Chain A
Amino acid sequence: MEGFCLPPELYTQKSILRQIFMVIKVSYVLLFITCLQLQARTYSQTITMNTKQTSLERVFQAVEQQTGYVILYNYKELQRAKPVTISASNQEITKFLDRLFADQPFTYNIEDKTILVSGGKRVKPKWAKPTVRISPPVEAKQAPLTGSVKDAGGAPIEGVTVTVNGTTTATKTGSDGRYHIDAPPSDGTLVFSMLGYNTVEQTIGNRQTIDIVMIPSVSDLEEVIVVGYGTAQKRDLTGAVARVNLDQNRQQPNINPVQNLRGTVAGVNITDNGRPGSDGTIRIRGANSISASNDPLIVLDGIIYAGGSLSDINSTDIESIDILKDASASAIYGSLAANGVILITTKKGTTEKPRIALNSYVGFSDFAHIPKYLDAEKYLQVRKDAEIADGGAIPFNPLEQANIEAGRTIDPFEEIRQNSPIHSNELSVSGKSKAFTYYLSGAYSGVKSPVMGDNFSRLGARVNLNVKVTDWLSIGTNSGYTAKDNSGVRADLAMTTFLSPYADLYYEDGVPRPLPMNVGQVRSPILNALLSDNLDKTNTLFSNNYLDVKLPLEGLTFRLNTGYTQRNKKVFDYKPTFNRGEFFNLGSGKQAYTESRNLTVENILRYDRTFAEDHAFNLTLMYGAYKSADNKAELSSDNIFNDALGYNALEIGENFNINTDAGEDQQVSTMGRAGYRYKGKYIVDATIRRDGFSAFGKGRKYGLFPSAGVSWVLSEEDFLAGNSYINSLKVRLSWGRNGNRGVSRYSSLSSVAQTNYVFGNGAAPSVGLYTNSMGNPNLGWETTTSTNFGVDFELFSNRVNGSVELYHSNTYNLLLRQRIPNMSGFTTFLRNIGETENRGFEVTLNTVNVQKGSFSWDTRVAFSLNRNKILKLTGNDLDGDGVEDDDIASGWFIGYPLASNFDYVFDGIYQEGDDDFSLLPGSKPGDVKFRDINGDGKITTADRSVVSNSQPNFLAGITNTFSYGQFSLMVMFNIRQGGESANQAINIGRNFYYESNTLDVPYWTAENPINDYPAINYGNPLNYGFYQSRSFVRLQDVSLSYNFSSSLLEKIRIQNLRLFVSGKNLATWTNWTGWDPEFGGGGRGPGGTNNSNGPILKSYTFGLNFQL
């Protein structure tokens, strides 16, 4: 806690506080004198009641007392009942009930002395008055009917109302999800309804067991969404907030929860980098920032998950994922939220009976998409053509020559392959008692990529506990511990692409050859993977502990929230002695330890009340502080003469090297949010937050981030009442501003790096110090302002629902790492400058296409389109043309998107017979022809222009789910349209084409005079980028599941058993010839930091969910 301080003012202002407190106390007394009069009269058909702000449940009790009627209702559903204010004197019961239910999201039926309250379908009483049905006389009695109701993940759903359609026969499912109905009519239909789920109808027929799966109605406005420092009903939101449909993904073996987001949420673009256990890249509504971070903030169980990655979280522990997309929604997180916020809530205990659940699957993976390099036959052909192009013999390397003679070939990508199993076992126990809820889980999962040495396994445990200490105090924890293991040296993918089909990877005795092609630049991709010993383990503890206090003022609560993340990473490496022919080295090794700690403390005061029936008011105040600190120590030595002890005895080597690092940064935040709701129709929200961050320059550390939003639920208005097509309709408008602090610590300071030199022979190393960055004491916040307009709708009895979002955002004072003339000593300078704009359009659409008997077909579409543009840069107009200058060196062009490709314009290929090479002297047939844009008769740097950009035109995810009886089939396509990236591997000639494998692309020859690819030995004098579209369509997820019927399971006392098979990334259609079009590596290596990307995995899994 050192470093966290309480403001000194707090102590001096104690007396003021006490006064405030007194005032509040008095107000409390005045405000909360409610009068509740219930006059009881036995067995009356009329009711007399006078009540204000009373719970519906208490009204029901009173009705039962007065009339002797029995009211059947679902306690859970009743949670969403509105407080009742009603006054009646000897009113007839149906009239009274009509009035009572007019304002409630329920409907009722009366049969004999029973009033059945149901709320499965949101019926608007104003336009569709509940009908009082009289059931037909019950015919011949049938055998009892039983069954169970579960969610898509196989968890039983408690409290589902099961009604025989057209009758009053009704029951509810228990905590095990089971129900029982005596004597249903065989020609009847069962209706299963539950708030938050789509209603399901099933014809009874001769069946004695009917098990169903209920699908949550995602866009249901009653859904409770996590919004940051609290929750809200979706109907009350003013900003763009999306909930991830996890049920759809539960059948997918997503060891990493990031996969749940891939292609499923409009406006959220996940770029898988193919590495098991890696988060890939997450972009919400495109990239705002040019040089600062574009990563969204992750909030786990209400507290900033600083220092943690999504891959630390076990997928099945997650209850919900909500995404704050626009500034008004995310401004509550101020400086951290410029790139959106991902809010993850883990599971809690929900049933009194303990639930034990097992989720288990096994499978294997393969490459989903790898670049196509030459096979043996084409390789020989290319070599022949290269000889023609170069006008002379090009002898093969000795190893190749021998293999050609012997007819031995390899497939390089097969050579780096390893067995690639996937396994995951997750066990959880959860439950609750009056004062205690618990969720405990443990999981062990592992994935091996087919790329040798690329392994990931994770052992995780979670404890979520909540204890209600008294009726005003509860404490709890949401804590997880994860041990990740990435041990193994991954095969070198770039080197793999250099291998020809005639390369020789092993000596006769099976030892890998260091140079499998006799070419120094083509090293063995697998030597280190096979011989080196690597340990890479990360242990993460995330502990969120909170204390909730109900203050003595109704609706006022206080929460003290603390989050602590500690991450310890160990990377040990040992490269053993190698001694074979000309190759010799003694062992060398390394041990590196990193520890990072993040501490967050937040004080949250919340006030939430409804006054005078129609006025709902909420207020949230937060004060918090964050601190993160890292330490790193690295030890290494080489010339280790004996490998037996590996990296555990580095001291027996020579040339010891020590490197230690440390750093810390801090942030303080104050936040206030207020919301007001009138009649649930008009909603206004406002937030203001002030953040201070240590990495900015003196006097620039603080930023202020306001936001506001309004929404209007049109369907609550009279003019839409009675409209039978529109079930609900809401429009939203919001505005907000937030900041980006995504710069690393000490960014404002100029830094000094260390080096060494040895003077003389046998001397000790001398230490050298040099500056390696230009400090900027004026470094401050990058700020984004955005406006969002959204429409949420539910149409045709909720057969169609979804939302449409339109947004516009401006980011200014961009944190730009600008290219500067390096005569100053540095290539780049981080500064606040310029402005960018993002406009976009997102559609989320869920439709129930067919629902007939036990067959249903649902479709979900997530479509997003983002247009990005640079509006302003330095503001300089040095060429005096009245237009602000572009920054060519940095690759920024006013009016063009970020990530623009600035280059010469490809204009075909010089052909035989072309003899005018004056445009670019030195050209010859087979070379690329460039367009002379300024028409000066030669190709100069002035002929460069923005030729394309790498951002997609649009992204779309389409999911279809088909259910028939116990079977369910889900098929999901992920689509990217547009965006070009450089794929320089297309230019074979640039990279010693004559003694290595090359990309299998066409090339110009005199016999095959094509006009779109240059000759094989084209030298590319102008470094042209060779751009290619990264559009793709990917069959991303397919899963087929079978739910065992409950009658069968009952006998063996199992609540749920479900089997599934699923496939991931099964097919990819694209014209991109590089690495995966999703991340777009266009070189020899797959791209990413240090070529860390890998082929995206195609996987097949088989699994089961099991619940006791």
Chain B
Amino acid sequence: MKAITKIIMSLAAVVLFNGCSSSFLDEIPLDRFSPENFLVDEAGFEAATVALYQAAREEHSTGGANFDYMNLGTDLIEWGRYDSRGFKDYHLLTSQEDAVNKYWSWAYEDMIRQCNLILDKLNDPAIELNEDARHRFEAQAKFFRGYTYNILATLYGGVPIVTEVISEPKFDFQRASKEEVLQFVRQDLEEAGALLPVVGNVSDGRIYKAAAYHTLSEVYLSLGLETNDASYYDLAIDAASKVINKEVGDYRIMTERFGDLARPGDVFSDLFQTDQRSRESGNMEVIWSWQFESFTLGGGTSLNAKGNNSPRLWFPQWEKIRSPNGAFNLSTDSMLRGIGVNSLLNYVKYDIWRLDPNDMRNSPNNIRRVYYYNNPDDPEYFGKPMKTALNNKGEKVLVKNDGSLSDVVLDTLMQYYPWIRKVDGIPFEDNVVAGQSENDFIKMRLAETYLLRAEAYFRKGNLGEAAADINVLRNRAHATPIAPQDVTVDFILDERARELIAEEPRRRTLSRMGLLYERVKKYNPSSGPTVQPHNELWPIPQSVIDANTGAEMIQNPGYN
């Protein structure tokens, strides 16, 4: 009994003395890293850099319900559906608009923060990295930081410049001027350009020197327009020339067919085959592309089906058309399902091709203008081309085999418009209906470098050189060359549309040139009536203004 009592009393004494050693409450995460314990060696910095590439690709799923806000409501396309989203009604472009928030948070939360983390840690003298590795990581982080701020400056104007890791909340951010942001971008990209390696024989989706100089030429153009200092155009020409003259890697405009020659097509369509977007396949034009890979971890974005979403956005909702006998068209491996939101404007459908209808980029290999019934349930029409005519109400209807008009009215905004074939591709993870391909998304192509240099020559007044650069592309497309006196900013924009549609973020091109309002008003029948001059820039997201309680974040003019 006595012994038991002793034991019990000892236990009871535990009540009285809270002397447990404090290590019991120390926290060491078991399954996750901290910034302190992973950014310590080359492998850690590599992992941090990989995350940056993934974040950059996320731009593709950014913006509302992943619609193409970089093209919607521009001079190329209009919202193809009935409601007023997609900048069909520019009154809905407010500081509460989802896309406005998403781009902003993508830039600061996904991109800039990670760049600053890498750059910050590289400055830590305690970290042992060889010079080569240090430069490699610094160059990539600086490239992406400059690249992101350039997007911000183009979309929102002057934004706060954050250059360091912020480890406790800050409420007094202030907007820098647009020029300050562009100068910061220029500095980052120049430093990145100096440090980045030259591309080798493989396309692996990484950033090489050429990507920095390609972007720099655009940034110098913006600086020239922002400051009215024409010397920037020389810098833009120099930067573009580095790429064009192969000073920073072997890039070439493809003039001969390449890859699988058994495929019907031409050299322009060869450029965009799913399996021909890499240097290994002989495509020497691509400077940088987002990587997509079916059925592979990390092979896609955070979208629902994760693939390259372009077919879904750019293709008409062709499957909604039924034959005169009522059989609906089918989505197939070669006709991925579109939802008809990026509905082509007449400007793209017709206007830009009037100059030379035989332009290769307007060939059936590159723009599908004739559709074929593809539902075998209707043998009468299966495999036959769709013929259309206007009925007496002025509606476009299908023509029956016997030549009479059917009652199938075609919705030319959503269901029946030309098909940009550079978006064609192998369905991502075998899913035809999602309308996503496994195409790498080409972000930068040498053709655009020529157009940037042409723009710089044009802005400098050197029309001859401008025409020469443009004609490199026109000659490749077997289109009539242009004479120097015909080069105008509108022509450059037309040529960009012909060459780069579905590749370039048209909104940023127009905003960069200050022509968004004017061109939308002129070419876009649905957005034109509501677009206002202040829509040239997006508003600062209201949630950011509301949270920045320590200093006033001034809204862009025209937005409430």
A-contact 0/1 string along B35-50, CB 8 Å cutoff: 1001000001011111
**Does A765 belong to the interface (CB within 8 Å)?**
yes
Residue numbers in B under 8 Å from A749 (CB-CB): 27, 29, 34
**Does A17 belong to the interface (CB within 8 Å)?**
yes
A824 touching B162, Cβ below 8 Å: yes
**Does A1008 belong to the interface (CB within 8 Å)?**
no
**Does B394 belong to the interface (CB within 8 Å)?**
no
How far apart sit A1022 and B295, CA to CA, in the bound complex (Å)?
Answer: 40
**Does B3 belong to the interface (CB within 8 Å)?**
no
**Does A625 belong to the interface (CB within 8 Å)?**
yes
Q: By CB atoms of chain A within 10 A, which of B82, B203, B205, B433 has the most?
A: B82
How far apart sit A890 and B543, CA to CA, in the bound complex (Å)?
Answer: 9
A623 touching B543, Cβ below 8 Å: no
**Does B521 belong to the interface (CB within 8 Å)?**
no
Residue numbers in B under 8 Å from A767 (CB-CB): 47, 50
**Does B112 belong to the interface (CB within 8 Å)?**
yes
B24 touching A822, Cβ below 8 Å: no
How far apart sit A31 and B30, CA to CA, in the bound complex (Å)?
Answer: 55
Interface size class of B (residues with CB under 8 A): 35 or more
Contact (A5, B25) CB under 8 Å given A518-B320, A874-B549, A922-B530: no
**Does A719 belong to the interface (CB within 8 Å)?**
no
Residue numbers in B under 8 Å from A746 (CB-CB): 27, 29, 32
Residue numbers in A under 8 Å from B530 (CB-CB): 922
Contact (A760, B202) CB under 8 Å given A768-B47, A771-B117: yes
A878 touching B550, Cβ below 8 Å: yes
B205 touching A821, Cβ below 8 Å: no
Q: By CB atoms of chain B within 10 A, which of A5, A604, A825 has the most?
A: A825
When C-beta atoms are compared, the residue in chain B nearest to A395 turns out to be B411
**Does A1088 belong to the interface (CB within 8 Å)?**
no
**Does B460 belong to the interface (CB within 8 Å)?**
no
How far apart sit A657 and B48, CA to CA, in the bound complex (Å)?
Answer: 21
How far apart sit A666 and B168, CA to CA, in the bound complex (Å)?
Answer: 26
Residue numbers in B under 8 Å from A670 (CB-CB): 15, 18
Contact of B298 among A515, A690, A762, A766 (CB under 8 A): A766
Contact of B171 among A666, A755, A766, A821 (CB under 8 A): A821
When C-beta atoms are compared, the residue in chain A nearest to B440 turns out to be A761
How far apart sit A878 and B171, CA to CA, in the bound complex (Å)?
Answer: 10
B27 touching A668, Cβ below 8 Å: no
Residue numbers in B under 8 Å from A889 (CB-CB): 543, 546-547, 549
**Does A913 belong to the interface (CB within 8 Å)?**
no
B20 touching A661, Cβ below 8 Å: no
B-contact 0/1 string along A729-765, CB 8 Å cutoff: 0000000000000000110111111011111111101
**Does A1069 belong to the interface (CB within 8 Å)?**
no
Residue numbers in B under 8 Å from A10 (CB-CB): 10, 13-14, 17, 19
Residue numbers in B under 8 Å from A693 (CB-CB): 25
**Does B322 belong to the interface (CB within 8 Å)?**
yes
B549 touching A755, Cβ below 8 Å: no
**Does B11 belong to the interface (CB within 8 Å)?**
yes
Contact of B32 among A638, A752, A762 (CB under 8 A): A752
A-contact 0/1 string along B432-475, CB 8 Å cutoff: 11110000000000000000000000000000000000000000
B54 touching A768, Cβ below 8 Å: yes
How far apart sit A695 and B170, CA to CA, in the bound complex (Å)?
Answer: 24
Contact of A520 among B83, B435, B543, B549 (CB under 8 A): B435
How far apart sit A581 and B432, CA to CA, in the bound complex (Å)?
Answer: 10
Contact of A701 among B25, B91, B280 (CB under 8 A): B25
**Does A268 belong to the interface (CB within 8 Å)?**
no
**Does B180 belong to the interface (CB within 8 Å)?**
no
A941 touching B542, Cβ below 8 Å: yes
How far apart sit A749 and B330, CA to CA, in the bound complex (Å)?
Answer: 52
How far apart sit A560 and B11, CA to CA, in the bound complex (Å)?
Answer: 8
Contact (A823, B430) CB under 8 Å given A757-B57, A1017-B84: no
B13 touching A760, Cβ below 8 Å: no
Q: Shortest Cβ distance from A240 into chain B, in angstroms?
A: 27
How far apart sit A549 and B295, CA to CA, in the bound complex (Å)?
Answer: 63
When C-beta atoms are compared, the residue in chain A nearest to B49 turns out to be A768
Residue numbers in A under 8 Å from B544 (CB-CB): 821-823
When C-beta atoms are compared, the residue in chain A nearest to B203 turns out to be A760
How far apart sit A93 and B19, CA to CA, in the bound complex (Å)?
Answer: 60
B204 touching A824, Cβ below 8 Å: no
How far apart sit A551 and B13, CA to CA, in the bound complex (Å)?
Answer: 14
When C-beta atoms are compared, the residue in chain A nearest to B118 turns out to be A770
Q: Shortest Cβ distance from A1092 into chain B, in angstroms?
A: 19
Residue numbers in A under 8 Å from B165 (CB-CB): 825
Q: How many residues of A contact B (CB 8 A)?
A: 129
A663 touching B113, Cβ below 8 Å: no
Residue numbers in A under 8 Å from B509 (CB-CB): none
How far apart sit A326 and B171, CA to CA, in the bound complex (Å)?
Answer: 37
**Does A394 belong to the interface (CB within 8 Å)?**
yes
Contact (A1022, B96) CB under 8 Å given A752-B34, A821-B170: yes
Q: Shortest Cβ distance from B173 into chain A, in angstroms?
A: 5
**Does B351 belong to the interface (CB within 8 Å)?**
no
Q: Shortest Cβ distance from A33 into chain B, in angstroms?
A: 21
**Does A510 belong to the interface (CB within 8 Å)?**
no
B-contact 0/1 string along A400-435, CB 8 Å cutoff: 000000000000000000000000000000000000
**Does B296 belong to the interface (CB within 8 Å)?**
yes
Residue numbers in B under 8 Å from A823 (CB-CB): 108, 112, 159-160, 162, 166, 170, 173, 544
B-contact 0/1 string along A367-407, CB 8 Å cutoff: 00000000000000000001000101111011000000000
Contact of B29 among A520, A621, A663, A755 (CB under 8 A): A663
A-contact 0/1 string along B280-321, CB 8 Å cutoff: 100000000001010111110000000000001000000110
Q: Which of B185-193, B238-246, B251-259, B331-339 contacts A (4 or more CB under 8 A)?
A: B331-339
Contact of B35 among A756, A771, A820 (CB under 8 A): A771
B32 touching A751, Cβ below 8 Å: yes
How far apart sit A821 and B548, CA to CA, in the bound complex (Å)?
Answer: 5
When C-beta atoms are compared, the residue in chain B nearest to A604 turns out to be B15
**Does A603 belong to the interface (CB within 8 Å)?**
yes
How far apart sit A275 and B360, CA to CA, in the bound complex (Å)?
Answer: 60
**Does A1081 belong to the interface (CB within 8 Å)?**
no
**Does A680 belong to the interface (CB within 8 Å)?**
no
**Does B273 belong to the interface (CB within 8 Å)?**
no
When C-beta atoms are compared, the residue in chain B nearest to A696 turns out to be B25
A663 touching B20, Cβ below 8 Å: no
A922 touching B89, Cβ below 8 Å: yes
B33 touching A761, Cβ below 8 Å: no
Q: Shortest Cβ distance from A694 into chain B, in angstroms?
A: 4
Residues 38-70 of A at the B interface (beta carbon under 8 Å): none
When C-beta atoms are compared, the residue in chain A nearest to B277 turns out to be A761
Q: Which residues of A contact B (CB under 8 A)?
A: 3-10, 13-14, 17, 21, 386, 390, 392-395, 397-398, 514-515, 518, 520, 549, 551-552, 558, 560, 581-586, 603-605, 621-623, 625, 638-639, 654-655, 657, 660-668, 670, 672, 690, 692-695, 701, 745-746, 748-753, 755-763, 765-771, 774-776, 818-827, 829, 831, 874, 876, 878, 885, 887-890, 921-923, 938-941, 989, 992-995, 1017, 1019-1023
Which 9 A-B residue pairings sit nearest by Cβ, starting from the closest? A756-B298, A825-B113, A7-B19, A922-B91, A768-B51, A889-B547, A768-B50, A760-B204, A940-B560
**17 A-B contacts (beta carbon < 8 Å):** A7-B21, A666-B24, A694-B25, A694-B26, A757-B57, A758-B205, A761-B293, A765-B299, A768-B49, A774-B169, A824-B166, A887-B547, A889-B546, A940-B560, A989-B84, A1017-B83, A1021-B91
19 extra interchain contacts, Cβ-Cβ under 8 A, other than A824-B113, A824-B162? A17-B10, A398-B322, A584-B430, A603-B15, A694-B25, A750-B167, A752-B32, A755-B54, A766-B298, A769-B44, A821-B553, A823-B173, A824-B108, A825-B162, A874-B549, A922-B89, A941-B95, A992-B82, A995-B82
Q: Which residues of B contact A (CB under 8 A)?
A: 4-5, 8-22, 24-27, 29-35, 38, 44, 46-55, 57, 81-85, 89-92, 94-96, 104-105, 108-109, 112-114, 116-117, 159-160, 162, 165-171, 173, 202-206, 275, 278, 280, 291, 293, 295-299, 312, 319-320, 322, 328, 330-332, 337, 339, 409, 411, 429-435, 530, 542-551, 553, 560
